[in-house]
Structure formats: C-alpha cells, structure tokens
Amino acid sequence: MSRVVLESITKQYPGGVEAVSDVSLVVDDGEFVTLVGPSGCGKTTTLRTIAGFEQPTNGFVGINENRVNTVPPDKRDIGMVFQDFALFPHKTVAENIAYGLKVRGYESDHIDNRVDEMLKLVELPETRERMPDQLSGGQQQRIALARAVAPEPDVLLLDEPLASLDKKLRETMQVELRRIQRTLDITTILVTHNQKEALTMSDRIVVMNDGNFEQVGAPKTVYSNPETPFVADFVGTANIFTGSVSAVDGDTATIDCGHTTIHSTDTDDVAIGDSVSAVFRPEHLSIADPQTATDGAGDQRTVFDGTVSVSRYTGDQIEYHVHTETDEQIVAVQRVAETNIVEGSDVSLELSAENCLLLDQ
C-alpha cells in the first residue's frame, strides 16, 4: 500500500518565485498519474517536493499516511528516473542496477537474483556485464528504469524520462514503462510536457498551469470535458471563440462572437449576457463543398465559410487550417480516405451544437 498525498502545497523559491501554488492531490496505491503542462509551470518542483529534494513552503506531503515534509530523499523509499537518466559510467549494467540494493544493505545473493530479475523485466539480460557506453540510448533508458525499480520502492517518480528518445523508441518505451509499472503495481508519477504521452499512459492526468492544478481527471474526461480554455488548448487541439450568450432557447444557447454566431447545447449554468469561450475540437467539424452544403445555419448547427490556407498531411489524417470569411482561423481534421481538398479551396465547416462546449472565461 503506497499512497502519495499532497495537501495545499505551496513552494516559493528564494527570490520570491512561487513555483507551486496551493495544490492538492492524492495518488492511490498502484496508480499512474501524469503531471503535464508548459515549460516553467511547476512540474519538476512538484516532483522534487514529493522526492524530498525541495521542502514545501506550506502544506503537507505524505507517503503512506506519514508526514514526510522534512524526511530526506534517501529515507523516502522512492525510485527516480530523471530526464538525463545518467547511469554511473564506470559501473557495469549489473553494478548500476545493484546500486540501490547495496545501499539498503541486502546480501549479495539476493542482489544477484534481483539484478537478473530486473534485466529480464526490461528484456536486456544479455547486457549484464556491459558498460553504459556500450548500450544504445534506449537500452540505457531501460537500465535506468531497472535501477530505479530494483529496490522495490513505494513510489516511482519519473521526470521527462523519455524526452531524449526519438519518436519510435519513445513510443516503444511508453508501452514498456506502462507494462513494468503494471507488473510491479507501483505507484507512479510521471512528468511530461508531451500531452499525447500523458493521454496514452496515465490512469489520471494533472494539467498544470502557472503553479496551479487546472484540472485533474482521467485522460478521456480531461480531453472531452476540459474545464478551462487553457486545458482545452493544452490537451489536444482546440478551436476557441470568445463571446457572450445572446439567447438560451430550450437546450440550445446562441453565442455572439463578434462576426460569428455559434450554437451550443452545453447550456448548464449558462445565462444570457454571460461571457463564455465556445470550444470545439478539429475532429468534430465536417467539411463540405460550399456548392453542395445546405444553406445557412440552424439552431443545431453552426456553419463557417472560409478558404483552406494550409493543408497538412499527417499520415492517417489531413489537418486543414481554414481562414474564415469573418477573418478567424479554424483547424479541422479529416481521415485521409474521406477528403482531399487542396489549399486555396473554398469550404464550409459544419459544427453541430452538441459538439461545442461552453467554458467560463
């Protein structure tokens, strides 16, 4: 049983920078939670506070119900992998993995067995006697992970552990890391600024912005129901229009966004006159030829007329950047098989009201 508890954590660095502002979170036993957010938002500071390399200015850090605010890192039973994942260069792979076990005073037979077990887990038994510089970058990464989990720590903390890998290796390692985490059922907190990595790997994600936790939830919830425009924009791609509610009729609201009028069925807590952000995902727009598109917008649909300014082929889909007649930029995506619209074409984008979220500004 290993839970991590953060209660009202604030961290101010000397000089007055408040890196983390009054954040709270409970990471359950065996859970995989990812902190995601832009550079400088406080992810590493939060992780270092859990590890014990930083002490919070205010608040409570708990591991397994114990207050650990002032407990030094080596007494916290935590495994860590940092972005630069430096292995000890003058130790063999086996000696690297054995390091944490030796520090804890295990007998050499136990250490040997455990090293073998770990090498099997990361599928690199043949590298046992090699030096780190005789391994590829991805192999070094896996050994760093083996070294971190070998002593069976209560908690695994990972700060951008895959950032230096190429896309293919990074994706392989994401799968590998998740498999190891599940096999060992180890409570894990990962830091990344890669939102796709956060969405694919985690039980829950924490979207950080400027020292705050903007939203905490399952990846699917955060993607489909972002609570703030920042979250909508950071997790996935979002089209965001700001405006005010000009009518609420039954279950449909009309938002007046200057030159554009948008319809949404997301009418909970919405009243006429409210300032809101209308948010919709690129995949929720359908693209039609203006000649064949049905005329005008109804209550349940918004139509944007414009011209394709950029068409980007991304393998399985095409991303269209559309400049509307009302001088707005909208991103739409379609599966490759469905469309082939060249840049400069006039298009109509259709959005149904139930795919448009309304968020407080």
Ligand X SMILES: Nc1ncnc2c1ncn2[C@@H]1O[C@H](COP(=O)(O)OP(=O)(O)OP(=O)(O)O)[C@@H](O)[C@H]1O
Query: Which residues here bind Mg ion, judged by CB under 5 A?
Result: 44
The identity of residue 235, as a single letter, is V
Q: Which H or E run contains 254?
A: strand 252-257
d(CA 146, CA 75): 20
**Cβ at position 173, least distance to Mg ion in Å:** 19
Choice between 43 and 263, CB closer to ligand X? 43
- Residue 138: name its binding partner from Mg ion, ligand X, none (Cβ under 5 to 8 Å by kind): none
**Cβ at position 160, least distance to ligand X in Å:** 7
- Residue 215: name its binding partner from ligand X, Mg ion, none (Cβ under 5 to 8 Å by kind): none
d(CA 357, CA 226): 9
**What is the CA angle 95-86-83, rounded to 5?**
135
Interface with ligand X (CB under 6 A): 13, 15, 17, 19, 37, 39-45, 193
**Cβ at position 206, least distance to ligand X in Å:** 12
**What is the CA angle 63-199-202, rounded to 5?**
30
d(CA 231, CA 121): 36
d(CA 27, CA 12): 23
Choice between 141 and 355, CB closer to ligand X? 141
329 token code pair: 């930029």
- Residue 19: name its binding partner from Mg ion, ligand X, none (Cβ under 5 to 8 Å by kind): ligand X
Choice between 39 and 291, CB closer to ligand X? 39
**Cβ at position 156, least distance to Mg ion in Å:** 17
The identity of residue 97, as a single letter, is I
Choice between 44 and 96, CB closer to ligand X? 44
**Cβ at position 40, least distance to ligand X in Å:** 4
DSSP state of 184: H
Choice between 38 and 290, CB closer to ligand X? 38
